[in-house]
Amino acid sequence: MTLYIGREASKLWKRICAEITTEINLLAENWRYILAGLIFQYIHGLAARGVHYLHRPGPTLQDVGFFLLPELGKDKAYISEMVFTFVFVSFVLWTFHPFILKTKKIYTVLVWCRVLAFLVASQILRIITFYSTQLPGPNYHCREGSKLARLPRPHSVAEVLLINFPRGVIYGCGDLIFSSHMIFTLVFVLTYQKYGTKRFIKQFAWLIAVVQSFLIVASRKHYTVDVVVAWYTVNLVVFFIDKKLPELPDRTSGSSLFLPVTTKEKDARSKEENHKLLNGNGGDPADWRPRTQVNGKIMEDGNAVLADNAMNGA
């Protein structure tokens, strides 16, 4: 039993080391996209913080979702956050499954390049919408009488740039017309829908996305229109951007031959091939076999013998 555990642990460690090497090579090629996507997450948070300074509390707008769904109340507002945290953590763990599991379909770095591209495009549209029109927030801390509904003028630039994380993100106001939680949820679900392998998990993920939509409205964190806009906009963004991006290599065959070659490796291979051709060493060795010329045509060895026999017989 101990021998079996040790052997399996050794295989797992070799698998992890091999995957780390592969992902490091991919990261060296794509780190700019990852870094740009992460930096934009900060820019998105900074934009949401900035619109909070413009927010003016007022009467809650008439909303169909508020009439149809019972209000959860302040003491149960954490439920939607727990569901979102579950979705976020589950997706992150799934993207790192190639380091442990034998069956793998994705490369972690390439998937996150794709996910960040979807998020950035959706968040750009979100920033445009909530800066175009400021609505009175329906959340409890955004209503009239709340100390957090309005932010005092900042005393310094650093106060704005630091965005008071995480409190400033959780208790933000004014960033409406587009639900941020639904952007992340739908991008994660759509990504797993395409690259995941378990059908029941895909169905469960869509169910969670629907439940999350209802919880956001029931907890009065967003108006119903914010959730509706997120549903059709994120799907359209993912659809069009996914068509523009190159398709990810499929790893289901169990071979790493589909791993994208870096630019440096491509240049090195092309130089090596050109060097061989100039020195007369390139190509298939079979192409350097002696050939015989018959009637002005160059023929292979076997064809030459057949031709000679045919000529002698004639």
Catalytic residues: 181, 222, 226
E strand or H helix at 33, and its extent?
helix 2-54
* C-alpha span between 276 and 281 (Å, rounded): 5
* Terminal Cα distance for the chain, rounded: 78
* C-alpha span between 165 and 159 (Å, rounded): 11
Contact by Cβ (8 Å): 136, 51: no
Antiparallel, parallel or unpaired: β 297-299 and 292-294: antiparallel
* C-alpha span between 80 and 219 (Å, rounded): 8
Residue 192 burial (C-beta neighbours within 10 Å; 0-12, 13-18, 19+): buried
Tokens encoding 149:
């509904």
> Could you count the other beta carbons within 10 Å of the beta carbon of residue 56?
13
Q: Is 254 left (phi over 0), alpha (psi -120 to 50) or beta?
A: left
DSSP type of residue 176 = -
